[in-house]
Amino acid sequence: MRVPEEEIGISVYWTEGAPGIGGKLKKSPEDFVVDEISVFPPEDPNGDYTAAVVLHRNWEMNRLVRRLGTNLRVGRGRIAFAGTKDKRSVATQLMTFAAPPEAVATIYILDVEFLRIYRTRVSTALGSLYGNRFRIVIRDADTTDLEERVETVGAGIEELGGFPNFFGVQRFGVVRPITHLIGKAIVQGDFERAVMMYIAEQADSEGDESKEARSFVLETRNFEQALRRFPKNLVFERTLLGHLLERPNDFPGALKRLPRNLIMMFVHAYQSYLFNQILSKRIERKLPLDTPLEGDIILPLDKHGLPNQRRQIRVNSSNISLASSKLREGKGFVSGSLFGADTAFAEGEMGEIEHEVVENEKLKASDFIVPEIITASSKGIRRELLAPVRDLRWRIVDSSAFFSFELNKGCYATSLLREYMKAGMMSY
């Protein structure tokens, strides 16, 4: 799958002058291995929850949770995880279940394995992780001066102290990169458009049966016939259709039948699209990512060494020297807006960029309060512009480049690797 990056708000590279190596990501799931750096709840033999380290291959997160719930005979709300992993990958991550360890241990699902199981009193929650470790292979790279190209890009990344913290294409849907467009429709109050886009928008890589079903429902709006035509594996599309069959024109109600994290993801993806535009424009203006300007808002580190998004410090003429010193020491990050109902704008040049992006989309803060679907509402937050990389290593074997590194939570490996690939599109 090749996704034009402009469609998700990305229009620039940090290492623009360094030639890329091209190539392809994820030719197989084994080419993209991710291990979560988890926050493990304490073990307690009297706890009501079961914690487990779960290894899964080529599983989309919502479908995995649904399958686990079916096997355990519990609702999806009784299964929790800290981070959403790439579908086309081999991933390990912590999950918790409101079910006994004996039941979890008996689960058998193809390409799913439980590496550790124990009782605890505490359920995990979305975001309760420190980061992820990656082992990734770029295949079919341009072999012309391959090592030199990798070294040149790597030098630029090292000099900056990281890479632009763009949201990767996975945030928007790899097969159908429309998640942000659905989120836009939701904040605009156009729930019918959001539902129909999710049901009817086609992807080139889909099978004929799926394409025909999507075309049929778009052209006819016959939800009863469409439900018969949609493949069984398109579970969430069928959920929407089933609701509309019972309650025609109740499009907000149909969306509320989807998993809570999926509803949230629609609006979060739209916020991510806005952030990508803001970050692109800052780079295009040749403004620094690692040094604060007057008007910027910086995020200091929390006790775990991660950006503290709850503590925001405005940079002005009186504190800019101290702020610059702290960032040089690696004790904070310049931030950009993930615009929502209660998000602070920067001032100065960064403020101009943020206002420009939001105004171009004809948005106001109150749009992100969605009374019809309260779980779609979002206060917004600020996000670090720079993603630090730890323990970055690489080696070349023929036309393949092997990388290993560690990132903070919320940072995308694909956003690092695009600097090396310079493909103009992310290639999967």
Under DSSP, the state recorded for 120 is: E
H helix runs in 162-288, sequence order? 179-187, 191-200, 208-220, 223-229, 235-246, 251-256, 260-284
Please state whether 173 falls in left (phi above 0), alpha (psi between -120 and 50) or beta: left
The amino acid at 294: E
- One-letter identity of residue 209: E
Strand partners, 215: none
Q: Which residues pair with 164 in a beta bridge?
A: 386
Residue 140 designated active-site: no
d(C-alpha 428, C-alpha 419), whole Å:
15
Rounded CA-CA distance 388/165 in Å is 9
Strand-strand pairing, 90-97 and 32-38: parallel
- 21 within 8 A of 400, measured Cβ to Cβ: no
Query: CA 93, 94, 98: angle at the middle one, nearest 5?
Result: 140
b/e map 330-360, b = 16+ CB within 10 Å: eebbbbbbbbbbebebbbbbbbebbeebbee
Sign of the dihedral defined by the CA atoms of residues 356, 362, 365, 367, in that order:
negative
Residues 6+ apart with CB under 8 A from 126: 80, 81, 82, 83, 261
Backbone region of residue 14 per phi and psi (left: phi > 0; alpha: psi in -120 to 50; beta: other values): alpha
At 192 the three-state DSSP class reads helix
Distances (CA, A) of 68 to 33, 74, 94, 108, 163: 21, 8, 14, 9, 36
Residue with tokens 């630090």: 388
> Cα(407)–Cα(392) distance, rounded to whole angstroms?
10
Determine the 3-state secondary structure of 412 from DSSP. Answer: coil
Active-site hit among 86, 140, 250, 296: 86
Rg of the chain's alpha carbons, rounded to an integer?
22
3-state secondary structure of 239: helix
Q: Name the strand (E) or helix (H) holding 159.
A: helix 146-160
Active site members:
86
